[in-house]
Amino acid sequence: MKLVFLCFILFLVDFSTCCRDITNEKGFHLSTKTRYQLPQIENTYNEYLKKNCKLIHINYIGRHGTRNPSVTETLSLSSLGQSFKNQEGNIYKEYKWILDFIAPKNESAGILLPVGKYELFEIGKRIKSRFKNFFNPFSSEFYQVFSTKVPRAFESASFLINGLFNGSFVEDNGGLVFTNDQENLLRFFDSCSKFLGYLESGENVIEMNLWKSYSYPPIAKRISLLIGLNETMSIKVLDKLFSACVNEASINNNYNDWCSLFTKEDIVNWEYAQDLKQFWTRSYGNQLNYKMASLLFQEIIKDLENSIKGGQDSFSARIRLAHAETLLPIISILGLYKDTYNLYANLTSSQINSRKFKTSNISPYAANLALYLFKCDGTIKISVEHNEVPVLIPGCKGKLCDFFLFKNLFNNALSFVWDAYCYETYKH
């Protein structure tokens, strides 16, 4: 049997029923490759209406939907079968399929998959259904949509628009999406020199590598014995196995091949390795990781203030589609999912298991953050939703928060100066 990633099977089936829900408990622990799940939406809008609140602005920032493996992952996976060629005679018959593995092709690397398009379309439909009277026929005079130039982000924005305004799943709505001049705002992680210096230092992966050195060898030994190897596979090869499992699970909802080699505990170990990486690269591990997102945060606040003032610079909604690397720093600026301790490789099991910072929940495919601005009996209130569920912002007195109190919580981010900060040289 030849194993391939069946990336395009969804073209032949009903989008509403195929491959959307996670069918195996391992699938809830795939870090940033976890599929977006239908939220348990609280009916807070009706409560706000009872308080004489009128929605005046939506500011949405989201991640693209489920995609194919990246170019880097594809190149790594392309050598997976070859990693076992010198053990070909030892591998047990029921695992010979490992040798025939065919990785995804480079030309399809990173593309938005049909299930990813559907994720964004459904999010748009749900938002529209909650705020029925807010969305009129699309006009760039009232609604603006931005994305990075990466095709999967651009397409995700297009399908979100379809859900919000058209109500029909069509392939091309890209003419309504602006991509110019968004790189510093939405891909700041590629343009902040100080942050790039931090990545080059390797400090961001120290804890992840320590965790792998503790937890991976027993997994490698068990799987090596399971499939018939006469020597234990390396951590590097085990990483490729994890990658193959995680991608086949997120893309095809398939847990019967590579993922069958792993227990749920193995996947949870891998998940924590990813969380350590994201914590120290995109979040609370270093203030630099999220300070550089302050420029985007300033734009969001400016949008909200313009909507309060009214006039030509105000819009009913500003929508931005980008990446996990964009969303996690903004969530960190807001102080969400922050533990009372930093994440380290040597934390106790209790600390690891009870942590708030879990990227499988925070930044799955199609993850989103939406800020809803209301006018309530002459006062301005804001509600922040993460993955369509209202969240309490640390420092606010409730999930419907006074806007000016909310704004004053973030004076540091609002006084951030990009040139003065990002053009500094990173010092160890």
Q: What is the CATH number of the domain that holds 293?
A: 3.40.50.1240
Distances (CA, A) of 181 to 146, 148, 336: 10, 9, 28
Question: Does residue 2 sit within a domain?
Answer: no
Note the pLDDT of residue 174.
53
Does 149 have pLDDT greater than 70?
yes
Reported as a pLDDT band with limits 50, 70 and 90, residue 272 is very high
> How many domains does one find in the chain?
1
5 inside domain: no
Judged by phi (left if over 0) then psi (alpha if -120 to 50, else beta), residue 378 lies in: left
* Residue 15 in domain: no
Residue 177, beta-bridge partner list: 145
Listed in sequence order, the DSSP H helices in 70-205 are 71-77, 114-130, 151-161, 183-186, 188-191, 193-201
Residue 96 belongs to a domain: no
Q: Give the mean pLDDT of 208-215.
A: 97
Res 12: pLDDT: 30
Mean pLDDT of the chain: 90
pLDDT at 271: 98
State which amino acid sits at residue 219.
I
Query: pTM surpassing 0.75?
Result: yes
Within-domain flag for 99: no
Kindly report, residue by residue over 302-344, the tens digit of the pLDDT: 999 999 999 878 899 999 999 999 999 999 999 999 999 999 9
Q: Residues 144-158: what's their mean pLDDT? A: 93
SS3 391: strand
17 lies in a domain?
Answer: no
In DSSP terms, 322 is beta-bridged to 63
